Structure 1
Amino acid sequence: MFGMCFLALCILIGSVLSTSALAPPSVALDEAKFIGKRVNNTDQYLGIPFAQPPVGNLRFRLPQPLETYQGTHDATSFAPFCPQDISDVISSGGASFLDPFQAAFLDTFSTAIANQSEDCLYLDIYAPAGTKPGVNLPVVMWITFGSFLWGGSSFFDGSVIVERSVQNHEPVILVAINHRLNAFGFLPGQQAKDAGITNLGLRDQRQALRWIQQYIHQFGGDHSRVTIWGANTGSISAAFQMLNNGGNSEGLFSGAWMHSGFPIPLNTYSELQGTYDILVNQTSCQNSTDSLDCLRQLPYEELYEAMLAAPAAQRFGRWQVVLDNDFIAEQPETLLQQGKIARVPFVVGCTQDEGTDGALNLTSITTDNETAAWLMEEGLPGIPMSAVEEIFALYPSDPTDGSPFDTGDLYAITPQYKRLAALVGDIEYHSQRRFFLNHTAGHQGAWSFQSKEFKFPFIGAIDLSDMLNIWGPGTLTDRLVSFVTHGNPNNGTGINWPQWTISAPHQLNIQNDSSFTIEPDTFRAAGMNLLISLNIQFPE
């Protein structure tokens, strides 16, 4: 494998040296020519459509493949991202505690963004400078995070990953995609089910993977080595691509790398019927005999405003992946238990303090009774008081036991904040990660990590803080590049990262000083076992 990579690198270097520094990079797709741009050591092809525009009669339809490309196309600018509310979706309560993290985050993701439009099914390709067909470099497809409400390919500079890969002598190609969001991508309800258009955002991702299979060779990529990569909802998306189609990947991808997002128990399409009805009632379609057809014909502005009529905090529970018995055949935990998942190698990871962001929205809860009420009504809705008492025994209100972890009694914003942060993190992230590993690791290569890096005051190693390393770039970037190249995150240097197994559940820990250690993945085992069993019985 290393010999093959060295040969590919030599071919790549030869291609670079033979390419005129003055000529912009270009690629032929079908009968068309796409002209990109070279930035430093990366060739960028931006705003390439991978499906027909989902507008007009194609609004709320399955993504349709493109017809033959023709003509000459300028691929030097980002295409629009999908409709969303680009204002801050984090609630005002406790937001000041997030300021240092947000400043670091904005410094890392400073790429200029595009406009938004319903015509948004585009992708961007970043390749090492001079890459030509036949080099057959491995490919990583990045899926944006943003709670299925916001985000897009233009929020990220893929050259960060590509240039690091070249420095590591393991060159890769990065593809960043848009997919439909909010109501445009995740319309629930019986009407959506009957029309076969549930989970359109996930179906857009599948179409992008098919596009890569057809065209990535023209950019110098290897269609047989495609890793899907995402964080939060991008990670959830990657997991659902693995669970789709009975676990048959159709050869669309060969691996997955997932940060802080796992397929938790879902609402059904019918349980969110009210979301569909509210949308319709916010428009002139409220008295229509065929509301879905009416929504397809609405002026874009009217539909967009209706979609955003609800407060931002409520949208998190409305425009989400649903169990549709189609793209997602059964509850994800059932599919995992049945082994209906793509048997490809994968990496999963969390940050240490995943729950602090969510707990900042719960600072009005200050007593045991209020925490119990939250658990029974929202955290694990429907659980009996006896289950709450079991949880309290394992997650006491003592701040030294809570999150941010390993901070003693510091940062106790309220008497319940650190307990709630521990509960939110373990219910939504850490227990889900372990459940995923426990039902896959015996059948395929599996690696796990926990990031304790970037411990900010009051919020610790918060959700998405590992993005500051991997998009930095940092030491985790090197492990990603090796995984994309070899299907294994070990790169022959530094500490060996063992596979996670049920008998030896070891994981990589990224310490606050950026060093790596290997530690048992057994922390809070009793609490997480209880929470995952309750979550399956009482989904959020």
Structure 2
Amino acid sequence: MALLTRFLPLRAFVALVLAALSLASEASLNTQDLLARSPSARLGKTELVGSWRQSPDGDQLEFFGGIPYAQPPLGKLRFQPSVPHKGFKGSSTFNATHYGPACLQIKNAPNVSEDCLFLNIIRPKGVKQGQKLPVMVYIHGGGFMEGRTEHIYDGSGIVSRSIARGTPIIFASINYRLGPIGFPQGLEAQERGYLNLGLKDQLLALSWMQDNVKAFGGDKHKVTIFGQSGGAMSIGNLLLSPSISKLIRGAILQSGHASSLSIFKPTAPNRQTLHANFISAVPACAHLAQTKEAFACLQNEELVDTATLRTAWEAAAAKAVDPYTWGPNIDGKEGLIEDLPSRLLEKGRFAEVPVMAGTTLDEGASFTPPGPDYSAPVLRGFMQARFLSLEVPASALNEAVDGLLELYPDVPALGAPIGTGNETWGFNPSFKWASILNNDSMYQAPRRMGSQAATKAGVRNYAYLFTDPQVAIRPESPWLGVKHSDEIPYVYGLMHVNATAEAKELSKVIRDYWISFVTTLSPNDGKGTTRTKWEAYGTHEEGALIELNSKNTTMIPDDYRKEQIAFINDRAWVFHQ
């Protein structure tokens, strides 16, 4: 249905659905039958009518989608911090039967819109207002450039598993603005307060949960956020603000942390250039690229439509040295990220909420195409261009880059995918070198830094390393190893048709760990599968990791590549982490 049909008087909405049903079936339903058969929840005077969702395990669940948590960020609200939704303006019913559009993204994807600040909820059948079930809120990834909440992020498998183990929960997922729409750069954005809009969207969605999740049977005091990749990086950054503890009580970070991507001030030369290139690619506003008046032009929808914004986004991204061009910024004491994450973590300036965090074995493979030249001069030049800034002296950067390349020798057996020896599958051997550098600098080192900082502060935290082989699923591309995102089907219970029986069992184990943490803040509630006890990170001198593997899930010390990762973390400021 079109968005206009979301807001209808109750009789009109029921009539519309009845008409659709009559075309699909000879069976007839009266109004009372329809309302009795459709899941619903009441927000104020408005009835949200959802739909039934069948989980992979066959459970019938209640789905509510496309629920607005903010005013549409259009016109004058474009590029501004999101504003709470004003309610349904007297509408007696709201059609929540399907997902809303995803936010505008760099890829030309279907069903995207600037009007995208929606959230979705999946709950067990028959849950009533006031039941106070724990709530699990997912923040999607995509490198702050793309991403959506449906498809592989359907939480039905998680909710179904929570029912099976006797600890029912509510699952929610949220959209947030991306790219230059969600993370504007430059001096003008700083002066107007337009920084980190995507993170502010996430905070507003969590505030909405505090105000409204009770209507769906959720407990606002038992909200856990979890996310993967850019979603985990978002969570890592949100945790740098102690006030987040008013909105959540726990967090799960999959393949990402606050320092995974380099974070710059919006006025850093590379970010200012990025902003200017974006504005210059908008014909109606190009003459304002070097001024402080560009956003007023961009907010004029008669001059700048959505398609123009996306085209300009693509044009600016094509000129950027850093592939992760838009993302969170340091926005000062009055903002969300006062300083570099590494400095804030070292000082213990973060929310002291229990955390689970981990990575896959070969994160870097997804970001290291095997074809290009990764010789030492090429890698050195790339890193120098990517990290050079006014805050980092060239001498410090050169020392860090040279030391990094020395500690990570160009030897295939020491590269990634890990444990594959000298095999290079016919590619340039140096791709394994570049892959291990990406792996550790973006994922393994930031996760270890976060685990160590939490332990030092006395915060209960758990860490994992996902190592389950994917050969049965991906026999044609062994050079990817256990790559970025490979754990997602296990977490959601949406396993590949070729997955082994052992892998499917591991999916249950992983969901039990995650759900246990959501319900008790410990992965070891003893319910569901019989599984290895997951020890807290601080129980081992080197840090305790659980290795998630279908053949043998066990505790291991967090000491792999100890010297190399320590080198990265000791110089995190050089890499803007």
The TM tier, using the shorter chain, reads 0.7 to 0.9
Shift of 1:277: 1.2
1:31–1:68 Cα contact (<8 Å) kept: no
Q: Deviations over 1:426-456 (max 9, x none)?
A: 1111111111111112321100000111345
Task: Report the Cα distance in structure 1 between the residues aligned to 2:400 and 2:430, rounded to whole angstroms.
Answer: 18
Secondary structure in 1 matching 2:571: helix
* 1:328 aligned partner: 337
Shift of 1:114: 6.3
**Residues 490, 197 of structure 1: CA spacing in aligned structure 2 closer, same or farther, 3 A cutoff?**
same
* Letter in structure 1 aligned against 2:103: C
Shift of 1:286: 2.2
2:69–2:84 Cα contact (<8 Å) kept: yes
**Residues 57, 461 of structure 1: CA spacing in aligned structure 2 closer, same or farther, 3 A cutoff?**
same
Q: 1:296 aligns with which of 284, 296, 299?
A: 299
Secondary structure in 1 matching 2:141: coil
Q: How does 1:152-301 map to 2 (within 5 A)?
A: 152-155=148-151, 156-244=153-241, 247-264=242-259, 265-271=262-268, 272-283=271-282, 284-288=284-288, 290-297=293-300, 298-301=304-307
1:453–1:461 Cα contact (<8 Å) kept: yes
Shift of 1:390: 3.5
Give yes or no for the alignment of 1:60 onto 2:79.
Answer: yes
* 2:451 aligned partner: 437
**Residues 227, 336 of structure 1: CA spacing in aligned structure 2 closer, same or farther, 3 A cutoff?**
same
Q: 1:137 aligns with which of 128, 133, 137?
A: 133
* 1:26 aligned partner: 40
Q: How does 1:502-517 map to 2 (within 5 A)?
A: 503-511=541-549, 513=550, 515-517=552-554
* 1:79 aligned partner: 100
Q: How does 1:99-118 map to 2 (within 5 A)?
A: 115-118=111-114
TM-score (norm 1): 0.86
Secondary structure in 1 matching 2:546: strand
Secondary structure in 2 matching 1:34: strand
Q: Deviations over 1:515-540 (max 9, x none)?
A: 31110010110011112223322438
Unaligned runs of 5+ in 1: 1-18, 88-112
Q: 1:521 aligns with which of 540, 558, 577?
A: 558
1:371–1:416 Cα contact (<8 Å) kept: no
Shift of 1:384: 5.7
Shift of 1:373: 3.7
Secondary structure in 1 matching 2:220: strand
Shift of 1:339: 1.4
Shift of 1:281: 1.2
Question: Identity across aligned pairs (percent)?
Answer: 30
2:124–2:160 Cα contact (<8 Å) kept: yes
Secondary structure in 2 matching 1:440: helix
Secondary structure in 2 matching 1:258: strand
Q: 1:427 aligns with which of 441, 444, 462?
A: 441
2:67–2:119 Cα contact (<8 Å) kept: yes
Shift of 1:504: 4.8
Shift of 1:416: 1.2
Give yes or no for the alignment of 1:410 onto 2:405.
Answer: no
TM-score (norm 2): 0.81
Task: Report the Cα distance in structure 1 between the residues aligned to 2:327 and 2:99, rounded to whole angstroms.
Answer: 26
Shift of 1:414: 1.4
* Letter in structure 2 aligned against 1:488: S
2:281–2:316 Cα contact (<8 Å) kept: no
**Residues 313, 476 of structure 1: CA spacing in aligned structure 2 closer, same or farther, 3 A cutoff?**
farther
Task: Report the Cα distance in structure 1 between the residues aligned to 2:34 and 2:521, rounded to whole angstroms.
Answer: 34
Q: Deviations over 1:284-307 (max 9, x none)?
A: 112346211111112333223222
* Letter in structure 2 aligned against 1:260: S
* 1:537 aligned partner: 574
Task: Report the Cα distance in structure 1 between the residues aligned to 2:565 and 2:319, rounded to whole angstroms.
Answer: 27
Task: Report the Cα distance in structure 2 between the residues aligned to 1:219 and 1:320, rounded to whole angstroms.
Answer: 32
Task: Report the Cα distance in structure 2 between the residues aligned to 1:163 and 1:508, rounded to whole angstroms.
Answer: 24
Secondary structure in 2 matching 1:320: coil
Q: Deviations over 1:91-134 (max 9, x none)?
A: xxxxxxxxxxxxxxxxxxxxxx9611111100000000111112
Q: Deviations over 1:305-329 (max 9, x none)?
A: 2222245694843221111211211
Shift of 1:236: 0.6
**Residues 258, 287 of structure 1: CA spacing in aligned structure 2 closer, same or farther, 3 A cutoff?**
same
* 1:367 aligned partner: 375
Task: Report the Cα distance in structure 2 between the residues aligned to 1:333 and 1:79, rounded to whole angstroms.
Answer: 36
* Letter in structure 2 aligned against 1:324: D
Shift of 1:250: 4.9
* Letter in structure 2 aligned against 1:259: Q
* 2:514 aligned partner: 480
Task: Report the Cα distance in structure 2 between the residues aligned to 1:301 and 1:367, rounded to whole angstroms.
Answer: 39
Task: Report the Cα distance in structure 2 between the residues aligned to 1:54 and 1:218, rounded to whole angstroms.
Answer: 25
Shift of 1:350: 0.5
Shift of 1:403: 0.8
Unaligned runs of 5+ in 2: 1-32, 55-59, 472-477, 495-506
Give yes or no for the alignment of 1:399 onto 2:381.
Answer: no
* 2:347 aligned partner: 338
* 2:489 aligned partner: 468
* Letter in structure 1 aligned against 2:275: Y
**Residues 282, 376 of structure 1: CA spacing in aligned structure 2 closer, same or farther, 3 A cutoff?**
closer
Shift of 1:222: 0.4
Task: Report the Cα distance in structure 2 between the residues aligned to 1:385 and 1:275, rounded to whole angstroms.
Answer: 24
2:355–2:461 Cα contact (<8 Å) kept: yes
* 1:96 aligned partner: none
* 2:326 aligned partner: 319
Task: Report the Cα distance in structure 2 between the residues aligned to 1:329 and 1:312, rounded to whole angstroms.
Answer: 29
How many residue pairs were aligned?
493
**Residues 481, 82 of structure 1: CA spacing in aligned structure 2 closer, same or farther, 3 A cutoff?**
same
Secondary structure in 1 matching 2:429: coil
* 2:366 aligned partner: 357
2:196–2:328 Cα contact (<8 Å) kept: yes
**Residues 387, 311 of structure 1: CA spacing in aligned structure 2 closer, same or farther, 3 A cutoff?**
closer
Shift of 1:55: 0.6
Task: Report the Cα distance in structure 2 between the residues aligned to 1:29 and 1:388, rounded to whole angstroms.
Answer: 55
* Letter in structure 2 aligned against 1:132: K
Secondary structure in 2 matching 1:441: helix
Task: Report the Cα distance in structure 2 between the residues aligned to 1:174 and 1:123, rounded to whole angstroms.
Answer: 11
Shift of 1:37: 0.9
Shift of 1:154: 2.6
Q: Deviations over 1:57-105 (max 9, x none)?
A: 1111111112233321111011111111335xxxxxxxxxxxxxxxxxx
Task: Report the Cα distance in structure 2 between the residues aligned to 1:480 and 1:468, rounded to whole angstroms.
Answer: 13
**Residues 322, 385 of structure 1: CA spacing in aligned structure 2 closer, same or farther, 3 A cutoff?**
closer
* 1:494 aligned partner: 531
Secondary structure in 1 matching 2:142: coil
Shift of 1:387: 4.4
